[in-house]
Structure 1
Amino acid sequence: MNGVEGVMKAVPAGERVEAIDWARVEDDLDRYGCAVIEGMLGHDECAALIEQYPRDELYRSRVVMERHGFGRGEYKYFDYPLPDVVEGLRTAVYPHLAPVANRWNEIMKIDARFPARHADFIRRCHRAGQTRPTPLILQYRAGDYNCLHQDLYGEHVFPIQLAILLSQPGRDFSGGEFVMTEQRPRMQSRAEVVPLGQGDAVVFAVHHRPVQGTRGAYRVNLRHGVSRLRSGHRHTLGVIFHDAQ
């Protein structure tokens, strides 16, 4: 058992996830396209994930952002089997977000619907050839940043994502804020800067979400990224619910 798994078993993911005020999360997602969940992971869990970042055997690939025009910094995609803490959160959080995703798609007249259980959705991804796991850890140093983007990995894309800040602002790093932009038709983009503490999670729309207008609902386009790190080191756990091709 690795350090992350040992810490996680103290409070199972299912229990901590069930204690979240999901009605408030859903309301914030509808209003702003994102919602903050405080204390999703504890200090020891965050530290254990950071400490294991150099263990390449846990990951299927490493991406240096600057080589691809994504910004500056790097990230690693976990390989299967995922660490217990990551698999536990992915499995426990998904059922609370699937109804939101289905409601949004119905409003936006998008045909895709998502099953109640994450295992069933992953089987759908794998049948379509999307078999590579997508949870990842991102690492930034002073001067690094992540360009605004959308995480779209194939035909089957889950429209909501989870990111957890593993480092402590003010101690481990400065700058490096999570940023979202929202483009509404015939309007200028709206920016949202999301303050996070260590262990806090942000749940956010990956691509589109519906907004109610005077003539009915319409679709807005979202992107997310990270502003320039002023100093230190910043690590984030990203939990993406669909797998990649």
Structure 2
Amino acid sequence: MKRLDDMSIRQDRLGAVDWSRLGRELDASGAAMIPGLLSADECQSLVALYTDDSHFRSRVVMARHGFGRGEYKYFSYPLPGLIQELRTRFYPHLAPIANRWSEAMGIETRYPADHADYLDRCHAAGQQRPTPLLLQYAAGDYNCLHQDLYGEHVFPLQMAILLSRPGVDFSGGEFVLTEQRPRMQTRPVVVPLQQGDAVIFAVHHRPVRGAKGIYRVTMRHGVSEVRAGHRHTAGIIFHDAT
């Protein structure tokens, strides 16, 4: 198994991503899948990091905070090479979508083309702690619906990558998104991820066109109860935390 710092996402995998399709799906539903983004070896290498606390700045036990059951760890800087690459190579493709959404919703914020420039903005505002994380669930664990905000500066899209094999490593534990439109009941969506699949989704709000123009839809995400086994996920959040 390769060391994570020696790994890089193969260019042909990024080149195979249909960014136009991804943008259309994000506009339409607030989420878009990228099948097979990581290999099984890359997934296993990330999972293996979880027991080595030298890679992380903190550990959160969800039950202590009312977040659900299970736990997660935030990576420390410098990030492992693969995590850093996911952050820096995806951001430039997502920034134009984020800017389009801001304009549609009448939000003044605009996002620079380069992720390092965006992190400079976060750090200048006191958001200096890295937010990429690994999550671990066992039987009976779940993650309540939530939003990963962390401070004044919030990049409106984030990514989750399933590292475990459904039906082999675990059962249950579906990734769930909800959408709350004004004067309507909440709509849930289950995203059918396999090992190595990524989903990009709205962190907080997304624009939706209605009869009277554009309005903001509130999005949340979580994980249903794991019925058996162990489930691991990597989360790539593009803003840092206070």
Amino acid at match of 2:233: T
Equivalent residue, structure 1, for 2:4: 4
1:195 and 1:57 map into 2 onto residues whose CA distance is 32
Which of the residues 111, 122, 126 maps onto 1:125? Answer: 122
Which of the residues 85, 90, 94 maps onto 1:88? Answer: 85
1:16 and 1:90 map into 2 onto residues whose CA distance is 15
Which of the residues 149, 152, 157 maps onto 1:152? Answer: 149
1:237 and 1:163 map into 2 onto residues whose CA distance is 6
Amino acid at match of 2:191: V
Which of the residues 196, 208, 212 maps onto 1:199? Answer: 196
Provide the secondary structure at the position in 2 that maps to 1:102: helix
Provide the secondary structure at the position in 2 that maps to 1:225: strand
Are the structure 2 counterparts of residues 15 and 116 from structure 1 closer, same or farther at C-alpha, using a change threshold of 3 Å? Answer: farther
Equivalent residue, structure 2, for 1:30: 27
Consecutive unaligned residues of structure 2, counting only runs of 5 or more, are none
Equivalent residue, structure 2, for 1:232: 229
Equivalent residue, structure 1, for 2:76: 79
Deviation at 1:214, TM superposition (A): 1.3
The answer to whether structure 1 residue 179 and structure 2 residue 179 are counterparts is no
Q: TM-score, normalised by structure 1?
A: 0.96
Amino acid at match of 1:113: R
Provide the secondary structure at the position in 2 that maps to 1:27: helix
Does 126-135 or 17-26 show the bigger shift? Answer: 17-26
Amino acid at match of 1:132: R
2:203 and 2:28 map into 1 onto residues whose CA distance is 15
Which of the residues 57, 61, 65 maps onto 1:64? Answer: 61
The CA RMSD measured in Å over matched residues stands at 1.3
1:17 and 1:30 map into 2 onto residues whose CA distance is 21
Deviation at 1:15, TM superposition (A): 5.1
* Over 4 Å off, 4+ runs: none
Amino acid at match of 1:33: G
Cα offsets for 1:125-172 (capped at 9, x unmatched)? 111111000000000000000000000011110010000000000100
Equivalent residue, structure 1, for 2:94: 97
Are the structure 2 counterparts of residues 242 and 15 from structure 1 closer, same or farther at C-alpha, using a change threshold of 3 Å? Answer: farther
Are the structure 2 counterparts of residues 26 and 200 from structure 1 closer, same or farther at C-alpha, using a change threshold of 3 Å? Answer: same
Deviation at 1:3, TM superposition (A): 1.7
Amino acid at match of 1:4: L
Residue identity over aligned pairs, in percent, reads 66
Which of the residues 11, 14, 17 maps onto 2:14? Answer: 17
Amino acid at match of 2:154: V
Which of the residues 22, 41, 46 maps onto 1:44? Answer: 41
Consecutive unaligned residues of structure 1, counting only runs of 5 or more, are none
1:17 and 1:164 map into 2 onto residues whose CA distance is 15
